[in-house]
Amino acid sequence: MKKRTVVASAGALALLVVAVALGVRPGNDPIAATQPAPSAASEPAVARLGNQEVASAELKALLASLPVESREQLSTDRATLESWIRSRLAEKAVLEQADAQGWRQRPEIEQQTRAATEQIVFRNYLQSVSQVPADYPSAAELQQAYDAGKSEWVTPTMYRVSQIYLAVADPQNLEAVRKQAQDLSRKAQAAPAEFAGLASQYSQDRVSAERGGDTGLQPLQQWLPEVRGVLSRLKVGAVSDPVQSQAGFHVIKLTELQPARVATLDELRDRLTQALRAQRQEQIAKAYLEGMLNTATLSIDGAELNKILEEKR
């Protein structure tokens, strides 16, 4: 079983938790998290808790703020979405209580709000004055960056693997499951072409079982340590003896092997372009800030600075 089999839903939930913590809303403005909920008459609500609601637009904005892959995953993960809705309603209920007790008017809250607002204005304005030209990078600049970093573009050896996975839910059933795995391994070794049928019928990793056991192309590190050693010694088309892990037993078949290689410029073009543009924008922003310091005489009162530092000791 691959390491990432159960990570996807946990990762999706983590994305939602981070979105809640950062107050992701239309405009991606953290201050919006403290604003009153929209009126029920203005748009339909997905859920309500007392006076609070999660409006359709709010949920749509959250989904729109996530990467495409995560958004597609969450669109089919109702449990995670409902967990976020419950968390958001609880957050709004807490904010309602805080408002009723005047927390929004507390000096420390007002100070933090002003500081957050300043940072939002600063980041957005700095971004607006450090725009990267649309034609950057050029084809020559892309090629130069690719050539300079060629040693970093190596893709690892990729293994296309099919598996039959048998879980051991009860330790008392260990030997029975081991025997079943041995029987399936012998059948598959005797007739490798029948592996897909056996995986579809017996494998308990249902995602890969629906594809005849195929888990796709993956680097060796994606597999459990117990499987890696066996997999690295298999020849293409060969079927392994049962491999025991903490989760159960794996009968694996290596169906394709792609040697390590240097990724082509075409494969890296989009990622390299984004990295170069981000680097150039950072350079432009840094130059802009340095220019601001050069527009007037800068003076620092060393005595006053020392006084403040002494008070903090």
Q: What is the pLDDT of residues 244-301, one digit of tens each?
A: 998 899 999 999 999 999 999 999 999 999 999 999 999 999 999 999 988 888 888 9
| Res 201 pLDDT > 90 | yes
Q: Is the separation of the CB atoms in 198 and 289 below 8 Å? A: no
The answer to the question of residue 23 being in a domain is no
Q: Is 185 in the same domain as 203? A: yes
In order of 46, 53, 209, 237, 248, the CA distances from 93 in angstroms are 16, 9, 44, 59, 44
Residue 106 scores a pLDDT above 70: yes
User: How many domains does the chain fold into?
Assistant: 3
Query: Does any domain span residue 215?
Result: yes
Q: Are residues 169 and 244 in the same domain?
A: yes
How far apart CA 258 and CA 256 sit, in angstroms, is: 7
Contacts 24+ apart (CB under 8 A), 208-214: 208/162, 208/163, 208/165, 212/162, 213/162, 213/163, 213/164, 213/253, 214/160, 214/161, 214/162, 214/255
Considering the domain architecture, whether residues 78 and 115 belong to the same structural domain is answered as no
* Same domain assignment for residues 168 and 223: yes
Residue 42: what pLDDT? 61
* 243 DSSP β-pair partners: 250
- Cα separation, 157 vs 103, in Å, equals 57
What are the distances in angstroms from CA 46 to CA 85, 91, 267?
8, 16, 41
Is 129 in the same domain as 211? no
3-state secondary structure 273-286: HHHHHHHHHHHHHH
Name the more confident of 223 and 66: 223
Q: pLDDT tier at 67 (50, 70, 90 boundaries)?
A: confident
Domain assignment present for 230: yes
- Residue 283 CA to residue 130 CA, distance in Å, equals 8
pTM for this entry: 0.57
Mean pLDDT (whole number) for 132-156: 94
Q: What percent of the chain has pLDDT over 90?
A: 63
Q: Report, as an integer, the average pLDDT of 107-128.
A: 96
Q: Judge if 160 and 61 occupy the same domain.
A: no
* 16, part of any domain: no
Report yes or no on 121 lying in a domain.
Answer: yes
Determine the Cα–Cα distance for residues 159 and 261; give it in Å rounded to an integer.
13
How far is it, in rounded angstroms, from Cα 245 to Cα 249? Answer: 6
Report how far residue 223's alpha carbon sits from residue 246's, in angstroms, rounded to the nearest whole number: 13
Residues 160 and 231 in one domain: yes
| Structural domain boundaries enclosing 90 | 45-104
Residues 140 and 240 occupy one common structural domain: no
Residue 11 lies in a domain: no
* pLDDT-based confidence at residue 313 (cuts at 50, 70, 90): confident
Q: What is the mean pLDDT of residues 125-154?
A: 94
| 97 lies in the same domain as 224 | no
Residue 184 domain-assigned (yes or no): yes
Q: Could you tell me if residue 253 is inside a domain?
A: yes
One domain for residues 158 and 258: yes
Q: Are 240 and 253 in contact (CB under 8 A)?
A: yes
pLDDT for position 20: 43
Residue 96 has pLDDT above 50, yes or no: yes
Average pLDDT along the chain: 86
169, 227: one domain: yes
Domain closes at, from 69, 84, 104? 104
Same domain, 129 and 141: yes
* Rounded-to-integer distance, Cα 67 and Cα 72, Å: 9
Structure tokens given for 195? 């592996």
pLDDT band at 31 (very low <50, low <70, confident <90, very high): very low
CATH number of the domain bearing residue 174: 3.10.50.40
